[in-house]
């Protein structure tokens, strides 16, 4: 153990890390779609170790790999690569080449694992089976070559968290046919988890490529020392059953206080612009405890128990059946949804005087037009691998009827979203307006405005450092909200429970959508401040380091959040500016299947209920920024959170 620590210390203090491949500017997929390709050199630069000992030199070679290349690698456009084959040549054979995660590349055939750690990691890794890869193919042997289907297959494979990168290349076959070679680079998929303190401990294990099948398995166990109470959780996900793109999830969780969450889900999304049918079933039984504001403005914990059922179905109709590029990916989408909530444990009258948490039946339908495609970029939320950035438009209209508290209310909402690259970076935005209508007046209306910007990737000069700027403004305005503490906005990182119409239930099994559904919450902020309107501005300066240790990168960042809550009756702590200032490192490893984590320090000038001039460690999370997808989904009300 001491030797390992010494090696790591020497590595950090004295060694140079691997410089990443520097990609060219982003380019659009399909007829406007392209990917980047690594430079194939097979050559290595000699490191300089003047003044260093031979021991340090050997440690450096063991831990690090340094590649030659500040030069942008050539771009390969699918449209150009397959241009002469499009709709003229049939696919003879599809060949799958799956590679272990360490030391290989799907672009550089000469690259092999060289260090002892790379070889050892590959030796114990369970490689993805062909069936886990083949089920995402949108083409088959005997089909005519279709550039869009090839690029969409590559994107869908990259979207799987057990796959790091993908490259699909044509290979010569007999005249009139072609072989497609699907090269897939795995990620390390098994991750243990654990936390220990004097009062409790928890251990867990997650595998996102169970036995190489592409299935996802979670298990965790926790225990509280004081009273011996135990908690247990398990979840199993079977994605894309038999190439139907139907995902099935089963979940059971019981925490230390014996609150339980059980659900089963079957869901098929509009996974591609070419998808025609989507739908899902979600059935849940849940018992939990949440903080609520009492009549005397004190925070009190109360139990909620409910059953929840959600069913939806959608159909996409291509607007232009024979087209190229974006025209082919434009659809008219209609969908219908119904969900039912049955509460088994009600809140006391003084906590829920308006019966906000009561049985509910909701029937919704939507119609909309969306057009989306994807841009291949890099160094946004990952390091040195392809990231598919959605660009496009979405316009939808939603209407429905809610039955609650022995009365029926009509609901109507609209959404408009647009995003794409401009000369000075990437900009996306969405506007949503929705309201219930009862007794000839607007009730519980919402106006939600969001924007997301990140700059181009700038080279800081010598040394290989790069930088991006992120900006995310958000506004949520409530109109004629109920006179209840429960129907108010907050700033807390994890909002108080506000019914089923929030991100936690709208897509419970797809938590990567958290950023889409979350509305301007300050990370690390815990306070009972509430209001009816919220204005939030998030700023982040992100640096990308050229150094790598065992696949880990430490990327420094500076972050600022500025927030204002306003509101009238049943509001607290409003009409004040709340802020946070953070600095730290985002730690990522694209070889492994786990979310990035941070080492950070945040300063809060004021948090009502906690005090002034507060410092917190590791309060920042990078998932506050994310991509806005222009994908049609199940009908939903505008989120007020």
- How many CA atoms does the CB half-sphere of 354 hold within 13 Å? 11
What is the structure's pLDDT at 325? 59
Per residue in 412-450, pLDDT tens? 999 999 999 998 899 999 999 999 998 778 999 999 999
Instruction: Say whether 30 sits in a helix, a strand or coil.
Output: helix
Q: State mean pLDDT over 191-218.
A: 86
Q: Residue 520 and residue 514: Cα distance in Å, rounded?
A: 12
Phi, psi (rounded to 5 degrees) for 273:
-60, -15
For the record, the structure tokens of 572 come out as: 């607290």
What is the average pLDDT value for the chain, to the nearest integer? Answer: 78
The pair of structure tokens assigned to 146 is 């279709």
Residue 112 to residue 126: CA distance in whole angstroms:
18
277-304 b/e (C-beta count within 10 Å ≥ 16 → b): ebbbebebebbbebebbeeeeeeeebeb
CA dihedral angle for residue 591, residue 595, residue 600, residue 604, rounded to 10 degrees: 160
Binning pLDDT at 50, 70 and 90, where does residue 220 land? Answer: very high
List C-alpha distances in Å: 161 to 210, 243, 259: 12, 17, 30
Which of the residue ranges 208-212, 333-337, 432-436 would you say has the lowest mean pLDDT?
208-212
pTM of the model: 0.80
Burial 437-472, CB ≥16 within 10 A → b, else e: eeeeeebbbbbbebbbbbebbeeeeeebbbbbebbb
Give pLDDT, residue 118: 80
Helix/strand/coil for 32? helix
Cα separation of 90 and 180, whole Å? 10
| Percentage of the chain modeled with pLDDT above 70 | 78
pLDDT band at 597 (very low <50, low <70, confident <90, very high): low
Strands (E), 100-149: none
- Is residue 567 a contact partner of residue 526, using CB atoms and an 8 Å limit? no
Rounded Cα distance, 631 and 158, in Å: 17
Token output for 604: 């809060």
Share of the chain above pLDDT 90, in %: 32
Q: Average pLDDT, stretch 22-43? A: 33
Inform me whether the pLDDT recorded for 76 exceeds 50.
no
Please give, one letter per residue, the 3-state secondary structure of 432-495.
EEEEEEECCEEEEEEEEEEEEEECCCEECCCCCCEEEEEEEEEEEEEECCCCCHHHCEECCCCC
DSSP state at residue 67:
-
Q: Is residue 458 left, alpha or beta, with left meaning phi > 0 and alpha meaning psi from -120 to 50?
A: beta
Q: Which residue has the higher pLDDT, 641 or 563?
A: 563
- Residue 71 and residue 96 in contact, taking contact as beta carbons nearer than 8 Å: no
What is the mean pLDDT of the segment spanning 244-263?
90
The region of weakest confidence among 55-59, 111-115, 452-456, 527-531 is 55-59
Strand, helix or coil for residue 117: helix
pLDDT, residue 62, reads 43
Least confident of 54-63, 233-242, 350-359, 599-608: 54-63
| Of the candidates 252, 251, 308, 317, the residue with the CA atom closest to the CA atom of residue 278 | 317
DSSP alpha helix (H) spans, 409-521: 503-506, 514-517
**What's the mean pLDDT in 497-523?**
50
Q: Which of 102-106, 173-177, 477-481 has the highest mean pLDDT?
A: 477-481
CB 545, CB 578: distance < 8 Å:
no
Higher pLDDT, 558 or 463: 558
User: So what's the pLDDT on residue 516?
Assistant: 47
What six digits make up the tokens of 88? 């003229």
- In tens, the pLDDT along 526-555 reads 888 888 999 999 999 999 888 777 667 788
- Alpha carbon separation from 396 to 96, 369, 409, 413, 633 (Å, rounded): 40, 6, 20, 8, 10
Name the residue with higher pLDDT: 64 or 467. 467
- Residue 9 in this model has a pLDDT that exceeds 70: no
């Amino acid at each position: 153990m001491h030797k390992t620590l010494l090696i790591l210390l020497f590595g950090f203090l004295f060694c140079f890390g691997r410089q990443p491949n520097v990609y060219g500017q982003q380019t659009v997929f399909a007829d406007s779609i392209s990917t980047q390709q690594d430079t194939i050199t097979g050559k290595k630069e000699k490191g300089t170790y003047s003044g260093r000992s031979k021991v340090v030199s050997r440690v450096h070679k063991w831990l690090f790999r340094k590649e030659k290349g500040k030069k942008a690698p050539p771009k390969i456009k699918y449209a150009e690569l397959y241009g002469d084959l499009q709709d003229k040549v049939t696919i003879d054979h599809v060949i799958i080449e799956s590679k272990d995660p360490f030391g290989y590349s799907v672009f550089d055939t000469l690259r092999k694992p060289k260090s002892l750690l790379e070889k050892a990691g590959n030796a114990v890794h369970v490689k993805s089976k062909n069936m886990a890869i083949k089920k995402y193919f949108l083409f088959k042997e005997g089909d005519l070559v279709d550039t869009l289907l090839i690029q969409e297959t590559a994107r869908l494979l990259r979207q799987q968290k057990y796959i790091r990168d993908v490259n699909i290349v044509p290979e010569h076959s007999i005249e009139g046919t072609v072989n497609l070679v699907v090269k897939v680079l795995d990620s390390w998929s098994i991750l243990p988890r654990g936390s220990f303190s004097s009062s409790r401990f928890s251990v867990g294990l997650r595998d996102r490529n169970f036995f190489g099948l592409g299935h996802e398995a979670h298990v965790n166990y926790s225990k509280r020392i004081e009273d011996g109470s135990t908690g247990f959780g398990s979840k199993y996900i079977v994605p894309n059953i038999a190439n139907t793109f139907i995902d099935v999830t089963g979940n059971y969780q019981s925490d230390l206080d014996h609150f339980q969450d059980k659900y089963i889900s079957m869901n098929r999304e509009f996974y591609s612009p070419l998808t025609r049918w989507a739908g899902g079933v979600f059935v849940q039984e849940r018992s939990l405890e949440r903080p609520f504001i009492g009549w005397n403005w004190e925070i009190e914990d109360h139990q909620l128990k409910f059953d929840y059922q959600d069913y939806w179905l959608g159909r996409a109709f291509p607007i232009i059946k024979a087209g190229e590029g974006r025209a082919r990916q434009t659809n008219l989408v209609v969908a219908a949804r119904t969900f039912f909530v049955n509460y088994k444990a009600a809140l006391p009258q003084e906590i829920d005087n308006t019966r906000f948490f009561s049985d509910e039946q909701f029937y919704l339908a939507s119609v909309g037009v969306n057009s989306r495609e994807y841009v291949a970029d890099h160094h946004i939320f990952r390091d040195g691998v392809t990231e598919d950035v959605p660009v496009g438009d979405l316009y939808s209209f939603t209407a429905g009827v809610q039955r609650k508290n022995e009365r029926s209310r009509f609901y109507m909402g609209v959404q408009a979203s647009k995003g794409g690259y401009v000369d000075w970076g990437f900009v996306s935005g969405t506007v949503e307006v929705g309201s219930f209508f009862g007794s000839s007046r607007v009730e519980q209306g919402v106006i939600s405005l969001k924007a997301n910007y990140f700059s181009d990737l700038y080279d800081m000069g010598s040394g290989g450092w790069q930088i991006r700027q992120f900006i995310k403004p958000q506004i949520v305005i409530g109109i004629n909200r109920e006179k209840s503490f429960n129907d108010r906005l907050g700033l807390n990182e994890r909002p108080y429970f506000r019914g089923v119409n929030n991100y936690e239930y709208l897509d419970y099994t797809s938590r990567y959508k958290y950023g889409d559904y979350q509305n301007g919450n300050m990370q690390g902020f815990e306070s009972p401040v509430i209001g009816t309107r919220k204005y939030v501005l998030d700023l982040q300066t992100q640096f990308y380091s050229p150094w790598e240790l065992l696949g880990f990168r430490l990327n420094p960042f500076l972050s600022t959040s500025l927030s204002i809550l306003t509101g009238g009756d049943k509001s607290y702590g409003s009409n004040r500016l709340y802020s946070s200032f953070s600095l730290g490192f985002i730690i990522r490893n694209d070889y492994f299947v786990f979310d990035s984590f941070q080492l950070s320090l945040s300063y809060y000038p004021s948090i009502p209920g906690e005090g002034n001039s507060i410092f917190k460690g590791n309060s920042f999370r990078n998932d506050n920024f994310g991509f806005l997808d222009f994908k049609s989904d199940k009908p939903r009300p505008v989120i007020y959170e």
